[in-house]
Amino acid sequence: MNIAVYFTPLGLNAGELGGRGVVVIDVLRATTTIVAALANGAKAVVPAASSEEAVRLTANLAKDGFVLAGERKSLKIEGFGLGNSPREMTPEAVGGKTIFLATTNGTPALVAAQGGDPVLVGAAVNFKALVARARQVFAQRGELIIVCAGREKQFALEDAYTAGRLIKAVRPGARKLTLNDAARAALGLTRQFATWAAALEQSEAAHQLVDVDLADDVTFSAKADRFGVVPSYADRRIT
Ligand code: MLT
């Protein structure tokens, strides 16, 4: 059995994930935000590779059915209805709507993972439910691929730590387990940080959020198992 981690989606070749079981992680904050939106009644989330693409995808849609959401440098994009804060994804804001989301690293990573089957959306806030689903996929396929969004094409601590926690949770019972180097390093991080909060708070992404007064998003994202949904991405939509 085999678990492979990618610390950023850059190493993925087009079509490489076709039909393979994938988990995408961007804990601060895109995947946390997507989980919160769907748990709070959004109809679907459509990840866009850029804000321009999000605008283009909505050009011919009825205004009352969708919300544009996303960030640049952590802050809401001008003209968009919502930013990328999981705390904004309230039932009032997202209920019944399709959210077109454009973020710096998270939504491009999801777009890069298209074709995986399934592509599961992972975070701390849905961790227990994610583990249950990922264990099923791993047992059936004998393989699991974990794609971290990373940050500005680099390693991101919070995503790698979450990947490590996921490996630790799915591996019991695996026969002849092969891990790639990134998976081994991710696993090592779980010995370094005892809690989600400890790992997330030390990350560069958290420092950037604190700098723009979004420390509450770090706290929100570090609380495991708030939601029981495991969003899955197929046919360009996450539901
Ligand atoms: C990203 O996609 O890089 C993040 O979700 C950025 C953020 O926290 O807004």
What separation in Å is there between the alpha carbon of 28 and the centre of ligand 1?
Answer: 6
Ligand 1 and 165: CB distance under 6 A: no
Q: How confident is the model at residue 110 (pLDDT cuts 50, 70, 90)?
A: very high
pLDDT of the residue at 153 = 92
User: Is residue 178 scored above 90 in pLDDT?
Assistant: yes
Tokens representing 55 are: 């605008």
pLDDT at 129: 98
Checking if the pLDDT of 132 tops 90, the result is yes
Q: Which atom of ligand 1 is nearest to the CA of 30?
A: 5
- pLDDT for position 97: 97
Give 77's DSSP letter. Answer: P
Instruction: Give the pLDDT confidence score for residue 206 in this predicted structure.
Output: 98
Indicate the pLDDT class of residue 8, thresholds 50, 70 and 90: very high
Q: What span, in angstroms and rounded, lies between the C-alpha atoms of 133 and 127?
A: 10
26 in contact with ligand 1, CB cutoff 6 A: yes
Whether 106 lines ligand 1, by a CB cut-off of 6 Å, is: yes
d(C-alpha 159, C-alpha 205), whole Å: 10
Alpha carbon of 80 to ligand 1 centroid (Å): 15
Rounded distance from Cα 141 to ligand 1 centre (Å): 30
**71 touches ligand 1 (CB under 6 Å):** yes
Can you tell me which atom of ligand 1 is nearest the CA of 106?
2
For the segment 126-147, the average pLDDT, to the nearest whole number, is 97
Q: Is 32 in the pocket of ligand 1 (CB under 6 A)?
A: no
Bridge-based pairing of strands 178-179 and 2-6 is parallel
- Ligand 1 lined by 51 (C-beta under 6 Å): no
Nearest CA to ligand 1 atom 9: 74
The pLDDT tens digits for 14-28 are 789 999 999 999 999
> Please, which residues bridge with residue 237 across strands?
234
Residue 29 pLDDT? 98
* d(CA 114, ligand 1 centre) in Å: 19
The finding on whether 86 has its CB within 6 A of some atom of ligand 1 is no
For residue 45, give the 3-state DSSP assignment. Answer: strand
Q: What's the whole-number average pLDDT of the chain?
A: 97
DSSP 10: G
Question: If you measure from the C-alpha of residue 11 to the centroid of ligand 1, how many angstroms do you get, rounded to a whole number?
Answer: 20
Mind listing the pLDDT tens digit for each residue in 207-237? Answer: 999 999 999 999 999 999 999 999 999 999 9
Q: Mean pLDDT lowest for which of 16-20, 31-35, 121-125, 178-182? A: 16-20
Query: Which pLDDT tens digit goes with each residue over 47-79?
Result: 999 999 999 999 999 988 999 999 999 999 999
d(CA 122, CA 38): 13
